Copies of this chain bind each other. A is one copy, B any other.
Amino acid sequence: MIQDRVIITDVGPRDGLQNQLKILTIEQRLSLIRSIAEAGVPQIEAGSFVSPKAVPAMAGTDQVFTALEAEGFTTPTIALIPNMKGYELARAAGAKTVTMVLYASEGMAQKNAAMSMAGAEDITGDILALAKRDNIEVIATIAVAFACPFDGPTDPIVVEQMAAKFIRAGADQLVLADTIGAADPQQVRALTSMLVSSHGAEKLGCHFHDTRAMGLANVYAAVESGIRRFDSSIAGMGGCPFAPGASGNVATDDIAMMLQQMGFATGIDLDKLMHASNLAQELTGTAPGGRSKAWLQGYLAKQAS
């Protein structure tokens, strides 16, 4: 039986670390990235080219990319960029794939990027043209694709139109991000099935946070629609560091476990993934760990004995 393949992108070294109290050194960030790669995670968002004043945890991302290139790192890495300046920095650092953020609400575009929704679309269009010339892949991520903390529920039609526009414009992937972890599985099923029926699943991905504990339910709902690309974060990093117990991104630990149990090929070695997860917890002191960790560790110990 040929298993259906799911591509997991670990965004912990970016979305996770930028939300931890502790700022890791470049060498610590590299060790975490290497550890995730050793577990077989097929893609890693290794950092972002944002203002180090706004996001101190991401300062020195250029050093991360150049160090990985110098050591012959083979796992595909992705750089998040918020704007054209970020694109130029990522290109200069040798990034082969960039993620540019689009916004499905004006409130989030203004608060998070000090631009309008249309402004972010224009810049993404410009970046797509340059990236084609530079032979760089572009992932377009639609932030607040389900709900916005400022503007409330997101109109699915806005997301559908934005997705259609950037798939037509040549984005290599189009990711629907539940930025604040507000989506429920019925919403996810409705939006993803609409997009998959229009565009196919090949280029579509989903990015969920586990804020309301519905992360895996949302992954399952998207899988039911045919989605086979997911962002997740090692050890579930990414929650608000000031709210004890607050969840971050869906944990790579949990999503890999669930998808493998459901028969999907992820390429991930769960035992090695636990090393990466433990390392994330050790380095940050605040990463919660996968929600299935208590069970998964016992299971893996039994397998090994």
Are A295's CB and B217's CB within 8 A? no
Are A295's CB and B220's CB within 8 A? no
Q: What's the least CB distance linking A110 to chain B, in Å?
A: 21
Are A262's CB and B186's CB within 8 A? yes
A275 within 8 Å of B by Cβ? no
Q: What's the least CB distance linking A278 to chain B, in Å?
A: 14
- Please indicate the chain B residues that have their CB under 8 angstroms from the CB of A263 in the complex: 186
Are A184's CB and B294's CB within 8 A? no
Q: What's the least CB distance linking A294 to chain B, in Å?
A: 4
Interface residues of A in 207-222 (CB under 8 A from B): 210-214, 216-217, 219-221
Are B214's CB and A258's CB within 8 A? yes
Are B262's CB and A213's CB within 8 A? no
Choose among B246, B258, B294 the residue that contacts A244 (Cβ–Cβ < 8 A).
B294
- Kindly report which residue of chain B lies nearest to residue A263, judged by CB atoms: B186
A238 within 8 Å of B by Cβ? no
Measured as residues with beta carbon below 8 angstroms from the partner, the interface class of chain A is 35 or more
Cα separation A243 to B293 with both chains bound (whole Å): 11
Choose among B185, B224, B294 the residue that contacts A243 (Cβ–Cβ < 8 A).
B294
Are A294's CB and B220's CB within 8 A? no
- Render A236-249 as a binary contact track against B, CB cut-off 8 A, 1 for contact: 00010001111100
Are A291's CB and B220's CB within 8 A? no
Q: Which of A214, A221, A262 has the largest count of B CB atoms less than 10 A from its CB? A: A214
A216-B213 contact given A245-B294, A247-B294, CB 8 Å threshold: yes
Q: What's the least CB distance linking A298 to chain B, in Å?
A: 7
Q: What's the least CB distance linking A262 to chain B, in Å?
A: 5
A26 within 8 Å of B by Cβ? no
Choose among B184, B246, B292 the residue that contacts A295 (Cβ–Cβ < 8 A).
B246
- Kindly report which residue of chain B lies nearest to residue A246, judged by CB atoms: B294
Interface residues of A in 166-225 (CB under 8 A from B): 181, 184-186, 210-214, 216-217, 219-221, 224
- Please indicate the chain B residues that have their CB under 8 angstroms from the CB of A254 in the complex: 213
Are B245's CB and A293's CB within 8 A? yes
A212-B257 contact given A185-B220, A221-B220, CB 8 Å threshold: yes
- Render A271-305 as a binary contact track against B, CB cut-off 8 A, 1 for contact: 00000000000000000011111111010000000
- Please indicate the chain B residues that have their CB under 8 angstroms from the CB of A293 in the complex: 245
Q: What's the least CB distance linking A268 to chain B, in Å?
A: 16
Are B291's CB and A247's CB within 8 A? yes
Cα separation A217 to B239 with both chains bound (whole Å): 20
Choose among B217, B224, B292 the residue that contacts A216 (Cβ–Cβ < 8 A).
B217
A135 within 8 Å of B by Cβ? no
A3 within 8 Å of B by Cβ? no
Cα separation A298 to B243 with both chains bound (whole Å): 10
A74 within 8 Å of B by Cβ? no
- Please indicate the chain B residues that have their CB under 8 angstroms from the CB of A217 in the complex: 185, 216-217, 219-220, 258
- Kindly report which residue of chain B lies nearest to residue A260, judged by CB atoms: B184
